[in-house]
A and B are shown apart, each in its own frame.
Chain A
Amino acid sequence: MSPGDGGPGPASDPRHRWHPIAAVDDLVFRHVYHGKLLGRELAVWRADDGFVNVWENRCLHRGVRLSIGASDGRELVCAYHGWRYANRTAGCTYIPAHPADAPARTICNRTFVAVERYGLVWSAEDPEGEAPPEAAELAGAETLVLRNLPVNAGAGLVIDGLAGYDPESLAAVARRTGDAAALQLGDGTAIVFFVQPVDSDRSVIRPVMTPAPPAADRIGVLRRHSAALEALRKNLEEEAARRPPAEPMTPALEQVPIHLAELPEPSPRGRQAPLRVRVARKWDTAADVAAFELESIAGQLPTFQPGAHIDVHLANGLVRQYSLTNGPGQLDRYRIGVKLEPESRGGSAAMHHTVREGDVLAVSEPRNNFPLRRNAERTVLIAGGIGITPLLAMAQALHHSNLGFELHCFARSPDHLAFGETLDRLGDSVTAHLGLSPADTAAAIARALEGRSPSDRVYGCGPAPMLAAVRELAEAAGWPAETVHFEYFANPTEIDDSSSFEVALARSALTLAVPAGRTVLEVLRDNGVDVASSCEVGACGTCSVGVIEGEPDHQDVYLTSAERAEGARMMACVSRSLGPRLILDL
């Protein structure tokens, strides 16, 4: 098959056809290439994992070109206000002006497909077929990409002109196809000139030659063709200048992808698991800790931010939360770690004993109630046992942004240290504290919290007694409560649900009675008012609701003491009312 043959003819909409947008060589290490196709500007970059990103060239914040931003190999950072966008998804992972907030899922740039073939990068707005059609002339032998040449002339004019290309009088036989001119030269070589339609009056000639000349002759061949094409370009541009100017192409700018803009259907069914993932790998990463890599079955896994977790819905009906341990931009697979709890109620035991490689799991989209602020001069991460998981994602994000951090891992023995291979890559920033007594642990935490400066931050995740120690020691060392952040595995509080009271929903104009033995969340769902939830034991913060009036009986471990005292939020899963009535912002 030849370029353009077989596929849609030149008369069809060019947005459905594949076009070259760059040479593979253009995408050098951590460079952001500035491209344009059919009037649409593109930012094109290769991430360190090899993935070629083709994005609409505008930041969703102020519309500035992302091609002037910087790639750190995992994420692209906008040059204006530092918004970060993840490899693969183009989802926003961080907004420096709002360091305490996880960016909304709607902040996701438009992405386009990319395929590498013949040494060129191909893309399309809405392609027919999974890859560009094959060019018969280029089948088999080794190819060489000649120097590309931008021309101030429309693609049709350029392709016509190329059909007469024969600088060395080699009796070239030309064959014009849809978006290219293919030349068979008398000396046995062939050149296919793919023409990239940049705009109505601009194109780029991207020639590919076969067979590739011997290495010693290459520069000479490249120079000869470059010079000959320059001469051809001069004629084409003179011809184009004589013609009446064409209307510039106006690409449609999509505002927000539909699947992100639509709110999920409210339902009383509670926790949703819209994603299906396959267990691509399961291995023992430490004593009693199984690690899982989960890959998407269809489409791209959604963007996550460091600190985020997913709900895993198990076959036995249980729902468990596991933090993503991935580094920034690692969106080919989600990686989680699961500790086998000796008193497992069935969650960790099912993950360890029942789930195998190849199994399909239902999981939620990532949710982040433990966001990482990147405006600290020093970030102290304190991990107890399996509490390493969210902090590992944070540590990798800080490492890749060259931001100072210390990761303190407390574990019983070297065998209990999970994800050692990732910890090794973080170098001197990691300190392992192994086999310490509670008193020695407290002393080590106290040392880690020494020397505070005002912009420093602490993040702790681990067993409840350890987090209580961190909270106490940080307070004693003068850390304000708002600079110390926690994620609990579970809520150690014995929930007292003996009270009965009334909740008035200000926006829904509903008043509901919450009897003893039932939670606010259950009563809301029974009445068709859905609130997102995850752990449902007062640890994760997902079901936080606004309190307009009344005094909540908190019982959770998510809110800080200052937030509790303020009384403006409560967790619908465990919090109740101290008085007869609460007014909620629902």
Chain B
Amino acid sequence: MITLYDYELSVNCYKQRLMMAILGVEYTSVPVDFYPGWEHKSAEFAKINPLGHIPVIDDDGFMLRDAHAILVYLASRYDPSRLWYPVDDPCRLGETAQWMLFAEGTTNTASSARLHDNLGYDFDIDAVRAGAHKLFRVMDEHLWFREREGLDWVVSGAHPTIADIALFPDVALSEEGGISRLDYPALRRWTDRVRRIPGFVTMPGVIALGESPWD
């Protein structure tokens, strides 16, 4: 059984909850008092992660930190279809790595703006917002051309990957950091598609689409 060191309002923890819900993986959540307790910076928590951040998972003694690394592990270990982390196709695997790195960018801009606005983090708010818009423009154009080819996800092929899961929370919560998605219609349509993935779960601020009878 996996133990997730978790904080409900963290986008990076949500990425793990979302992935595990979609893959049908059971887990136990250990709440970390991230705010206002700063428990992840405590001496106690340093034994779990010396870098002092969450999420961390403990899968029967195997410890792993860093959100995007954990996604690689979860998909490799618990997705027998090998579609979420496409190791059998070098091109798609490369694209997945590329968009996972892109997601580091969206986390450091869009989600940093959210931490600034919600929890009072000391970031240069104009700079992180401008950075997020720059990345969203790239993503919107990419997804618009994907739609022209009849494709739904950031990585080519018919199936979503861990890159979609890594990017989704940063995008879906951007308004909480004052970053409107008005200018990114293709990006908005992609967030609808992610929300229709079977097994999708929400977090505070992420709204479910509701079931859509396709009649």
Contact surface of A with B, Cβ cutoff 8 Å = 22, 25-26, 28, 30-31, 33-36, 41, 68, 70, 72-73, 77, 79, 147-148, 150, 198, 204, 218-219, 222-223, 226, 230, 399-400, 402, 425
Contacts and interface: CB of A to CB of B under 8 A. Distances in A.
Give the top 7 A-B pairs by smallest Cβ distance, nearest first: A150-B183, A79-B207, A70-B210, A402-B211, A70-B209, A26-B185, A34-B182
A519 B209 CA distance: 52
B144 A34 contact: no
B81 interface: no
B205 to A, nearest CB: 10
B148 A219 contact: yes
B182 A219 contact: no
Given A68-B207, A222-B148, A223-B145, A33 B185 contact: yes
A77 B210 contact: yes
B141 A33 contact: no
Given A70-B210, A77-B210, A22 B149 contact: no
Contacts of A26: 185, 189
Interface in B183-215: 183, 185, 188-189, 192, 207-213, 215
Contacts of B212: 30, 70, 72-73
Contact of B144 (A22, A36, A68, A147): A147
Contacts of A400: 213
30 contacts: A25-B147, A26-B185, A28-B192, A30-B192, A31-B188, A31-B192, A33-B185, A34-B185, A34-B188, A35-B182, A36-B182, A41-B182, A70-B208, A70-B209, A70-B210, A72-B210, A72-B213, A73-B212, A79-B207, A147-B145, A148-B185, A150-B182, A204-B183, A219-B148, A222-B145, A226-B141, A226-B145, A399-B213, A402-B211, A425-B215
B141 A147 contact: yes
A28 B189 contact: yes
Given A22-B185, A28-B189, 8 more contacts: A36-B182, A70-B207, A70-B210, A73-B212, A77-B210, A148-B185, A150-B182, A222-B145
Given A22-B185, A34-B182, A36-B182, A219 B145 contact: yes
Question: Which of under 10, 10 to 19, 20 to 34, or 35 or more describes the interface residues of B?
Answer: 20 to 34
A81 B144 CA distance: 32
Nearest to A48: B215
B181 interface: yes
Contacts of A230: 141
B6 to A, nearest CB: 25
Contacts of B185: 22, 26, 33-34, 148
Interface in B6-20: none
Nearest to A26: B185
B144 A219 contact: no
A79 B210 CA distance: 10
A36 B208 CA distance: 24
Contact of B213 (A36, A147, A402): A402
Nearest to A34: B182
Nearest to A204: B183
B204 to A, nearest CB: 13
Interface string B144-164: 110111000000000000000
Contacts of A28: 189, 192
A518 B148 CA distance: 72
A30 B144 CA distance: 18
Contact of A219 (B141, B149, B192): B149
A222 B145 CA distance: 9
Contacts of A30: 192, 212
Contacts of B182: 34-36, 41, 150, 198
B214 to A, nearest CB: 8
Contacts of B211: 402
B181 A34 contact: yes
Contacts of A35: 182
Contacts of A41: 182
A253 to B, nearest CB: 18
Which of A150, A219, A223, A226 has the largest count of B CB atoms less than 10 A from its CB?
A150
Contacts of A402: 210-211, 213
Contacts of B144: 147
A415 to B, nearest CB: 27
B137 to A, nearest CB: 8
Contacts of A148: 185
Contacts of B215: 425
B132 to A, nearest CB: 14
